[in-house]
Structure 1
Amino acid sequence: MLQYFLLAVLSSGLVLSSDCPTDCNCPIQGSIFCIHLPALIVPHVPTTTKNLYIFKNGIKTLSQEDFRGLVELQMLDLSQNELTEIPDGVFEMLSDLKNLDLSSNHITHISKGSFSGMVQLERLYLHANRIQSIHLEAFEGLEKLLELKLQGNQLTSLPSLQFPSLLLLDLSSNNIPTLNPSDLQTPHLETLKVASLKLTTVDEDLIASLKNLHELDISSNQLDEVPWALNQDFLKGLTKLSLAGNPLGELRVEDFQKLSGLQELDLSSLNLQGFPPSFFHIFPKLKTLTAAENPFNCLCPLAWFPVWLKERKVTLGRHEETRCHFPLVNAGKMLSELEHKDFGCPSTTTVQMGSPIGSTPVSQMPYTSPATHTNAIPPPLLPSEETISPKTESPVFPSSTSGENEHFCPPNICLNGGTCNFDPVGELGCLCLLGTYGLYCENLNEVPEPPEHSATEVSVVTPEMPDKLDAISSRQVTSTSILLDLHRFIETQPHIRGIRLTYRNLSGPDRRPIILNVPASYPEYTLRGLRPNCTYSVCASPLGERISSKANSSAEIGSCTEARTDGVPVTSLEPWVETKSSMTNTLIPALASLALVLGLAVVAGTIICLRKRRHANAGLELELGPADPDPMELEGIKACLENGGNGTIPLKQPEIDHCFTPQPSPYLQQNGGLDYEAPLVQGHCPSNNNVTLLKPSYF
């Protein structure tokens, strides 16, 4: 009986406890964790292992023998060891490997054969090493690579990175002062991080080649102005931008006009004292703004900012580091916590009235503006508007039929066509046109809908009540990616070893779950390579928790959320294809009609030539008698190829010569005289990378 039991266990593919290496942990089938091993070598593991984590073990060298027989291995984590090199062909037998993490080692060089044979590799992490050089052919054959991380090394130049499927590239914290278009042959790239490279400019052609870009980090460089490369129409699809830590001058609205799709903007450490008038009107989708470590001048011109954050529900990142520098009464205070009265805005204005017209005397009347509420937003002044001060306000005169003080509006107080009015108690307000809102009609966006259910929002808004289903949420959604927030999930699992993420496409015919294992040190995680305009269910559970065999998905355990990806951007080339196809469909019938007309003309010309020839011969026969036929005439139409046949019939206008057989067009000649064939539309790659081969992100 015992033999049958053992046979059943072995046939089911389960890893027996005796197969788990000494000093390692095997919490779930196919996954092995080896941390702080006493021996500084790669342990021997079962050949059925799929996920192998051997980080923090002080391993210094690798050999092919370490991985012999591991043909099913898909995840290999060798991070935080002491490797100094990657021997050629050391991973060659791991033909199924998709995720390789070599970060936080001491590697100095990447040779030509370091990654040979890894045709299925999708994610390669080499960050936090000491890499100084990479062989020009080191990455050849990695056609399916989705993510490459090289940040935190000592690179001074790059080989040409040719990755047709790459979605994420991180080159931050190296010494590469220039990046050329030839350096990045990555047409589907979604995320580019080039922070701390000592860049002085951003190449326009380089950015123009990345038409699928969603996230750009150019922080902590030496840019003295906002790069002109950001002024391109297709960058309306950019959702996240970081300019932090650059010696930029004054921010200008015109530098950001093409970035209307931004959802996250980082303007930290730019020496800002305030923001340009109407600066944030060009970001209708903005959700997160970071402006920490700036010396803000917290006077009346900035009083609108804290209220704008609340009304637009914009999250202020690093709000504790966003503080006032001037005046002294506000120095050190958090900008977002100030009230309107704290900015020192004047509450009363007195205007002395003079004589309006001629010699008619009018008594001088004081004007007192209505009390200003703390939730009011002083309208940012447009460049064409003049600043209104107590001394420069235009005088408004009372009616000659009234002896009482009447309320009147300061000039230009209402923006965007709004009409100034007073309520029954004398409070100043504005009646706004459709499509504008705010106390002064200063906002041009659509009026925000109630927060209960918004039809335009894509990401799932989590309720405020703490619930297990709220432990994960989607913070940002694009057409092909979902950014997950796992902070609360990790906080509620203090002893968690890792996170198992399971997601399914609820909008497609294939709803099979896809499972990923994520370390517990990643509070944010991006699923990439998703399909556009689809609803995805994402669930998280502690790594090591067994899934019931009766469950069809992980939705029955752990914490779940749903998010819907955006549609395909309008910058796609598909409309061009439709236009080209429409043109082709119109051109073919036109050419067919032209060929028919030419054919009829040839037949008519031949008949006319033959008749004229017969009439000429008939005249000669009457005078000279019958003669033998000319051999040339026996060929019929060939006799008409000569000018005028026998020279007795003069030609008419050259452009209407019916005796010449028209020559076929070059297209007809190339096709052997057949009907014209319209060239096929050339194949092309759309700007989005939503193909079935692209898998989601590991980290």
Structure 2
Amino acid sequence: MLPLKVWVVILISVHCKLVQSCPGGCQCNQPRTVFCLSRKNHNFPSRVPQNTINLYLFENGISSVEESSFNGLWDLQLLDLSHNQLSSLPGGVFKSLANLSNLDLSSNQLSEISDDTFQGLGRLERLYLNGNRIRSIHPDAFKGLENLLELKLRGNLLMEPPAFSLPQLLLLDLSYNAITSIQTGVFHATNIETLRLAGLGLNEVPEELFNGLKNLHELDLSENNLDRVPSGLRDLTKLNLAGNTGISQLQTDEFSSHPALQELDLSGLSLHTLPKGLFSSCPRLRSLSLAQNPFNCVCLLGWLAEWLRVSGVNLQRSDETRCHFPPKNAGKILRQLRDFEYGCPAPTTVLVPTTMTPSTTTPLPTTTMPSPKDEPTTSLTTTTLSDHPTEEDPIPTDQFSFKDQQCPPHTCLNDGICHLDHNGEVVCECPDGFYGVYCEMGTLTTAPVSIQPSLQLQILAVTGSSIQVDLQSYSRTKKHIRGIKLTLRNLSGSDRRPLIYSLPPALSEYTVRALAPNSTYKLCLGTLGEGGIDDELCTEAQTALESPQSSAHVNHTQDGNLTLVLVPAVAAGILLSIAVASAICYAKRRNRKGHAGEDAGPLEMEGVKKGLDGKGELKKLSESPVGPQRKGVESEEPLMDPTRLGNNNDHTIGRLPHSYF
């Protein structure tokens, strides 16, 4: 038995031999793995240890390989040549790698695959060819690869799917090629579990295409041109239809042939609503994406938020799942909408006449008068009509129709008439000169809309310190405006300089606060940055008179009340006169002192200097798209950051990604 020192010397020698045989610019790690990343030498590395199992050569700038490059690497099981400059592969270049199970040639410049490119790779299980320029694949290119489990051809230039017979194949990725149609029977791989056909430009997917694919569980059809959901996939657990903008409507039984679905992606479609009970045939559904759809958040969609809560389904990208219309809900996160915001009518109690026929009665024996005829009597029954009828208590179709249900206010623009069709879709009847789903578009020959002299600015509410203004009546007459300018003047005060507020056009009303009580204000609406005085819509409003505060020490008689009002008023006037006189005297004393290097400024009283420049003139008000332009006045400023719009009037409007529109 060799002594311990001898074993130590042997191990050190073996280690030194391994280190010395590692290619330049590479790292050789145990067990038998070689990493060559971003080497300065663009040739295939030499002196690779013959016992190497895993060889990583990505991002080496390698432009060619030969059969001799792999001499002696009989044990190699993983070869990564991705992100290099390979434009062609010699026939049989890998045939000496009989034990190779993983080959990655992604992100090279290969243009074709010949019949002998993969010759001798009978044990290959994973072949990745993503991100090349492959236009043609020989029909026998994959012949002999009976053990292949994964084949990835994503992002190439194929115009038709390759022909192959791979009985063990589990994953096939043909996404983002130029394959616009796939013929039935092209997939000769009955064990496929995952099929990815994204971004091919497919107009339809025939149901027969999946015949024989009994193990298909995951199907990716995103970013195609489909206008309906494929059927006949009863064992499918994951379906991705994102980006198929041709799908604009779904029927209640749309997924009845997909009972095993667990993950469903319907993002980026053209869905305006979803019928109630759409997912009732998918009891295993656990993940759902509805992002970036132009949803109409009206009564017919009100069921969705409650269903998500009760079912426990995880709504993916919920912050991107927002309302598109009506304008009052535009931009709001759909899941956060409360029931009444969908515009559903409240339960109604009606009196329904019912007819009852009394049971036949027997005349009393002692009565000789003839018994009265049995006549029906009418009574009134109280019935509550629910917004969500049950199957046990359905509402008769002649009692309500979709047309009877209320559209939320301001759904149709430009005086369009809103109603719901037989499918519950919002339909707008547009006046002459306007078109679009919501009458939002005008023809080229339509003259610009101007405000009629009879149209007046509406005041919604007035208190002692605030005025609520209706913006909708003005914004509906304007198209493509970037903002609304609200001008406010106090006609009762000595300072009549205007206060200008810049508001987003999507607001339906706005409240100006911190106003003086018992004062008359002139309010005007105009287009921000455009138009002139003729373009404005004006009105006057007077704030309420604040009631005096009562005191426990005051005798509440008529004379006492009069004194309570007059005495504080007189006292306030005296105090104000003293304050003004003191300020003037103080200013004169400062002027008389004439401190060296110090100029005496103008009278600086709060509320007087604001808005004046150094010369005592009014400053020019810029037309910034944000907020009131005189600071120091308490008001409700709309928030217009890059992610959302809103103000503390509880009108929050989120800015959506451009692709959402």
TM-score (norm 2): 0.53
Contact 2:247–2:271 (CA<8 Å) still a contact in 1?
Answer: no
Cα distance in 1 for partners of 2:286, 2:126 equals 30
Superposed CA offset, 1:589-642 (max 9, x none): xxxxxxxxxxxxxxxxxxxxxxxxxxxxxxxxxxxxxxxxxxxxxxxxxxxxxx
Inter-CA distance 238–384: structure 2 relative to 1 (3 Å threshold) = farther
Residue 610 of structure 1 corresponds to which residue in structure 2?
A: none
1:202 to 202, 205, 223: 205
Residue 239 of structure 1 corresponds to which residue in structure 2?
A: 237
> Shift of the alpha carbon at 1:101?
0.6
1:63 to 47, 62, 66: 66
Inter-CA distance 43–345: structure 2 relative to 1 (3 Å threshold) = same
Kindly provide the amino acid, as one letter, of the partner of residue 242 in structure 1: N
Superposed CA offset, 1:553-574 (max 9, x none): xxxxxxxxxxxxxxxxxxxxxx
Residue 154 of structure 2 corresponds to which residue in structure 1?
A: 151
Superposed CA offset, 1:346-371 (max 9, x none): 33524245585689676897x7789x
- Structure 2 residue matching 1:265: 3-state secondary structure: strand
Superposed CA offset, 1:430-479 (max 9, x none): xxxxxxxxxxxxxxxxxxxxxxxxxxxxxxxxxxxxxxxxxxxxxxxxxx
The answer as to 2:350 corresponding to 1:351 is yes
Cα distance in 2 for partners of 1:381, 1:127 equals 52
> Shift of the alpha carbon at 1:226?
2.6
Residue 211 of structure 1 corresponds to which residue in structure 2?
A: 214
Residue 171 of structure 2 corresponds to which residue in structure 1?
A: 168
- Structure 2 residue matching 1:26: 3-state secondary structure: strand
Residue 318 of structure 2 corresponds to which residue in structure 1?
A: 319
The runs of 5 or more residues in structure 1 that have no matched partner are 371-376, 393-699
Kindly provide the amino acid, as one letter, of the partner of residue 351 in structure 1: V
Residue 333 of structure 1 corresponds to which residue in structure 2?
A: 332
Superposed CA offset, 1:506-533 (max 9, x none): xxxxxxxxxxxxxxxxxxxxxxxxxxxx
- Structure 2 residue matching 1:36: 3-state secondary structure: coil
- Structure 2 residue matching 1:131: 3-state secondary structure: coil
Cα distance in 2 for partners of 1:62, 1:342 equals 66
Spell out the pairing of 1:394-405 with structure 2 (5 A cutoff). none
Cα distance in 2 for partners of 1:252, 1:134 equals 41
Contact 2:275–2:300 (CA<8 Å) still a contact in 1?
Answer: no
Cα distance in 2 for partners of 1:379, 1:288 equals 28
- Structure 1 residue matching 2:279: 3-state secondary structure: helix
Cα distance in 1 for partners of 2:168, 2:22 equals 36
Contact 1:259–1:283 (CA<8 Å) still a contact in 2?
Answer: yes
Cα distance in 2 for partners of 1:62, 1:160 equals 26
Spell out the pairing of 1:133-148 with structure 2 (5 A cutoff). 133-148=136-151
> Shift of the alpha carbon at 1:319?
1.7
Contact 2:276–2:301 (CA<8 Å) still a contact in 1?
Answer: no
Residue 50 of structure 1 corresponds to which residue in structure 2?
A: 53
1:86 to 86, 89, 110: 89
Kindly provide the amino acid, as one letter, of the partner of residue 291 in structure 1: L
Cα distance in 2 for partners of 1:388, 1:120 equals 69
Contact 1:181–1:209 (CA<8 Å) still a contact in 2?
Answer: no
Contact 1:134–1:158 (CA<8 Å) still a contact in 2?
Answer: no
> Shift of the alpha carbon at 1:157?
1.9
Cα distance in 2 for partners of 1:391, 1:223 equals 32
Contact 1:60–1:83 (CA<8 Å) still a contact in 2?
Answer: yes
Kindly provide the amino acid, as one letter, of the partner of residue 52 in structure 2: T
Inter-CA distance 2–108: structure 2 relative to 1 (3 Å threshold) = farther
Inter-CA distance 68–351: structure 2 relative to 1 (3 Å threshold) = same
Residue 34 of structure 1 corresponds to which residue in structure 2?
A: 36
The number of residue pairs the alignment matches comes to: 379
> Shift of the alpha carbon at 1:108?
0.9
Cα distance in 2 for partners of 1:387, 1:293 equals 34
Cα distance in 2 for partners of 1:273, 1:99 equals 46
> Shift of the alpha carbon at 1:115?
0.7
Inter-CA distance 14–172: structure 2 relative to 1 (3 Å threshold) = farther
Contact 1:33–1:53 (CA<8 Å) still a contact in 2?
Answer: yes
Inter-CA distance 70–391: structure 2 relative to 1 (3 Å threshold) = closer
- Structure 1 residue matching 2:348: 3-state secondary structure: coil
Contact 1:381–1:387 (CA<8 Å) still a contact in 2?
Answer: no
Residue 17 of structure 1 corresponds to which residue in structure 2?
A: 19
Between structures 1 and 2, the one with greater strand share: 2
The runs of 5 or more residues in structure 2 that have no matched partner are 357-374, 403-661
Contact 2:51–2:76 (CA<8 Å) still a contact in 1?
Answer: yes
Cα distance in 2 for partners of 1:100, 1:27 equals 20
Kindly provide the amino acid, as one letter, of the partner of residue 132 in structure 1: R
> Shift of the alpha carbon at 1:26?
3.4
Spell out the pairing of 1:547-558 with structure 2 (5 A cutoff). none
Kindly provide the amino acid, as one letter, of the partner of residue 276 in structure 2: P
Cα distance in 1 for partners of 2:112, 2:390 equals 54
Contact 2:18–2:49 (CA<8 Å) still a contact in 1?
Answer: no
Contact 2:113–2:134 (CA<8 Å) still a contact in 1?
Answer: yes
Cα distance in 2 for partners of 1:199, 1:382 equals 44
Kindly provide the amino acid, as one letter, of the partner of residue 245 in structure 1: G
Residue 196 of structure 2 corresponds to which residue in structure 1?
A: 193
> Shift of the alpha carbon at 1:266?
1.3
Inter-CA distance 17–264: structure 2 relative to 1 (3 Å threshold) = same
Residue 599 of structure 1 corresponds to which residue in structure 2?
A: none
The answer as to 2:104 corresponding to 1:101 is yes
Kindly provide the amino acid, as one letter, of the partner of residue 251 in structure 1: L
- Structure 2 residue matching 1:275: 3-state secondary structure: coil
Residue 118 of structure 1 corresponds to which residue in structure 2?
A: 121
Contact 1:14–1:29 (CA<8 Å) still a contact in 2?
Answer: no
Contact 1:148–1:170 (CA<8 Å) still a contact in 2?
Answer: yes
Higher RCO, Cα 8 Å, sep 6+: 1
Contact 1:278–1:382 (CA<8 Å) still a contact in 2?
Answer: no
Cα distance in 1 for partners of 2:16, 2:66 equals 28
Cα distance in 2 for partners of 1:265, 1:119 equals 37
Residue 580 of structure 2 corresponds to which residue in structure 1?
A: none
Spell out the pairing of 1:272-671 with structure 2 (5 A cutoff). 272-352=271-351, 378=388, 386=396
Contact 2:287–2:314 (CA<8 Å) still a contact in 1?
Answer: yes
Residue 623 of structure 2 corresponds to which residue in structure 1?
A: none
> Shift of the alpha carbon at 1:249?
4.6
Aligned-pair Cα RMSD in Å:
3.1
Inter-CA distance 355–260: structure 2 relative to 1 (3 Å threshold) = closer
- Structure 1 residue matching 2:346: 3-state secondary structure: coil
Superposed CA offset, 1:658-682 (max 9, x none): xxxxxxxxxxxxxxxxxxxxxxxxx
Kindly provide the amino acid, as one letter, of the partner of residue 20 in structure 1: C
Residue 73 of structure 1 corresponds to which residue in structure 2?
A: 76
TM-score (norm 1): 0.50
> Shift of the alpha carbon at 1:317?
1.7
> Shift of the alpha carbon at 1:8?
3.8
Cα distance in 1 for partners of 2:395, 2:116 equals 65
> Shift of the alpha carbon at 1:382?
11
- Structure 2 residue matching 1:76: 3-state secondary structure: strand
- Structure 2 residue matching 1:309: 3-state secondary structure: helix
Cα distance in 2 for partners of 1:128, 1:315 equals 33
Superposed CA offset, 1:250-294 (max 9, x none): 212344222100101111222111212311100000011111111
Inter-CA distance 80–364: structure 2 relative to 1 (3 Å threshold) = same
Between structures 1 and 2, the one with greater helix share: 1
Inter-CA distance 48–54: structure 2 relative to 1 (3 Å threshold) = same
* Bigger CA radius of gyration: 2
